[in-house]
């Protein structure tokens, strides 16, 4: 899928640089050519000899290479590639990119290029979570820079959390998507995720236990297959994926409006846990106890049915996928919901407290379609997302 594609690979200075060697091999296996750029810090972790031997190409390191610079070599390097990939993208490299610094070959190439850029962040968990890093990433996303990862896991420093560089195979999939080689290239998919918060007064609200993890994983998996994803998310406890258009909402009515604005689309995946009801008599001021012992009376109104509206509307996508979180008779309730809402598929799961699924890292779903009910084994939410994304790609092919 990368036949004839030229990848300029910038290897930053982090322990994850060793993965760049495997990344070179996988890019070549997919048919692509690699032109490596090794930063001064990157050369502390991998040698130019090993990088060049695998890439079968000269390893570029110095900005002031007089032979190359006589012909403006840094400009030619930055323009002759189809895609620039930074792996590992350290906190320092991300900061340079976000602020437009160009004090070495790598940062100069990134500033001079007119080609798309994909970064694979890798750093200590505290560095990843630091406000400066997240601010830099926000700037890069708004500049159109794509990203893959980081993953969560144990660090070389012994700490645990997000910050591990994505595995080389995942980076290759992201490269394919960035170059329009994924099966969903050219497709627009709307994904909803997370809970909604329905206000009672300015400081209280009604919500549910959804973390948004499954919807977030789905958006990332669809993005990795090449889709253009509009991610409409309630106040989830997990951050949204990079490389997608993020629309943040609070209430069900705000989510309904955001979904309507995002259409038309080729597919809609309604993974959000939308509140069925809202407080009709929400107070503009904080409700206080008056000493009488009487609780305030809350009046409820039904929220808009986003799934049914999308399924039956004039801008209906080719494929509409709903979700059903049940605690009893999962298949029967989900099958009835599919017929009632008018969607193509329902992804049902048992969210009884004993399952640990609501807010957990794993899921066990049943895919309900015209073909019947297909039970999937319990697996990680990322794996569920990849499997469902592949089914969506097949359906839209």
Residues annotated catalytic, as ranges: 157
Token digits for 241?
């994926």
Collapsed DSSP state (helix, strand, coil) of residue 15? helix
Cβ neighbors of 343 (< 8 A, separation 6 or more) are: 270, 307, 310, 311, 320, 321, 322
DSSP secondary structure string for all residues of 344-379:
SEEEEEE--GGG--TTSSEE-EEEEETTEEEEPPPE
Distance CA 387, CA 381 (A): 10
| Beta carbons of 345 and 267 less than 8 angstroms apart | no
Peptide bond into 323 cis (omega under 30): no
Nearest to 243 by CA among 321, 191, 307: 191
Distance CA 375, CA 224 (A): 25
Backbone angles phi, psi at 245, to 5 degrees: -85, 115
CB atoms inside a 10 Å sphere around CB 178: 25
Q: Where are the alpha helices (DSSP H) in the chain?
A: 19-29, 48-55, 66-69, 73-80, 91-99, 105-112, 125-129, 131-142, 168-178, 213-224, 252-262, 306-312, 330-341, 381-396
Size of the chain, expressed as the number of residues it contains: 397
Backbone angles phi, psi at 266, to 5 degrees: -80, -30
Kind of pairing, strands 146-147 and 245-248?
A: unpaired
**In the 8-state DSSP scheme, what is residue 273?**
B
**In the 8-state DSSP scheme, what is residue 195?**
B
Token digits for 276?
């069925």
Distance CA 353, CA 80 (A): 55
Residue for token digits 């097949």?
Answer: 394
């Amino acid at each position: 899928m990368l036949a004839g594609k030229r990848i300029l690979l910038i290897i930053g200075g982090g322990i994850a640089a060793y993965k760049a060697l495997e990344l070179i091999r996988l890019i070549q296996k997919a048919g692509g050519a690699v032109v490596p750029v090794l930063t001064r810090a990157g050369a502390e972790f991998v040698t130019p000899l090993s990088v060049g031997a695998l890439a079968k190409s000269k390893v570029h390191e110095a900005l002031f290479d007089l032979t190359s610079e006589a012909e403006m070599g840094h400009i030619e390097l930055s323009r002759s590639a189809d895609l620039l990939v930074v792996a590992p993208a350290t906190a320092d490299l991300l900061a340079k990119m976000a602020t437009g610094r160009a004090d070495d070959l790598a940062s100069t190439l990134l500033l001079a290029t007119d080609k798309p850029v994909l970064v694979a962040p890798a750093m200590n968990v505290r560095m990843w979570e630091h406000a400066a890093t997240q601010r830099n990433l926000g700037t890069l996303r708004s500049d159109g820079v794509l990203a893959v990862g980081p993953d969560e896991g144990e660090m070389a420093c012994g700490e645990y959390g997000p910050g591990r560089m994505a595995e080389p195979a995942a980076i290759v999939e992201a490269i394919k998507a960035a170059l329009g080689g994924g099966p969903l290239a050219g497709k627009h998919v709307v994904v909803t995720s997370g809970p909604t918060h329905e206000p009672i007064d300015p400081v209280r609200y009604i919500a549910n236990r959804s973390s948004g993890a499954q919807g977030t994983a789905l958006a990332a998996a669809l993005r990795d297959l090449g889709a253009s994803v509009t991610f409409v998310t309630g106040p989830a406890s997990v951050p949204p994926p990079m490389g997608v258009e993020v629309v943040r909402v609070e209430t069900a009515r705000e989510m309904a409006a955001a979904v309507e604005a995002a259409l038309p689309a080729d597919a809609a995946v309604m993974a959000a846990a939308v509140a069925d009801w809202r407080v009709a008599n929400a107070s503009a001021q904080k409700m206080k106890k008056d000493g009488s012992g009487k609780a305030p009376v809350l009046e409820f109104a039904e929220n808009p049915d986003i799934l049914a509206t999308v399924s039956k509307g004039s801008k209906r996508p080719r494929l509409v996928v709903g979700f059903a979180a049940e605690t009893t008779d999962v298949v029967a309730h989900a099958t009835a919901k599919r017929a009632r809402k008018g969607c193509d598929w329902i992804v049902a799961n048992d969210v009884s407290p004993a399952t640990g699924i609501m807010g957990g890292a794993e899921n066990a779903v049943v895919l309900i379609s015209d073909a019947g009910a297909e039970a999937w084994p319990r697996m990680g939410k990322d794996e569920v997302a990849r499997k469902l994304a592949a089914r969506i790609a097949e359906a839209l092919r």
